[in-house]
């Protein structure tokens, strides 16, 4: 398991002051890329694996 802290950017926020739900997938992508680099080492060809499915169960809003 990898725990990653990702800073919330201004562009991630919606009009209600919450992180837009689509941005969570960007956060997962950033964490996945860091995990791949940590576990597999420097990967120059990222086509060696495929992410087949993403699922998110939202528990509460994420704010700045």
Rounded average pLDDT over 1-24: 91
The Cα 55–Cα 5 span in angstroms is 20
22 is written with which tokens? Answer: 């689509």
Range of lowest pLDDT (11-20, 21-30, 49-58): 49-58
- CA geometry: angle at 59 spanning 14 and 37, to 5°? 80
The Cα 59–Cα 34 span in angstroms is 24
Question: Which residue has better confidence, 45 or 40?
Answer: 40
- pLDDT of 47: 65
């Amino acid at each position: 398991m990898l725990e990653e802290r990702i800073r919330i950017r201004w562009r991630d926020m919606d009009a209600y002051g919450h992180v837009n739900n689509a941005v969570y997938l960007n956060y997962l992508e950033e964490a996945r890329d860091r995990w791949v680099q940590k576990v597999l080492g420097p990967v120059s060809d990222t086509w060696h694996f495929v992410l087949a499915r993403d699922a998110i169960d939202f528990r509460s809003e994420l704010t700045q």
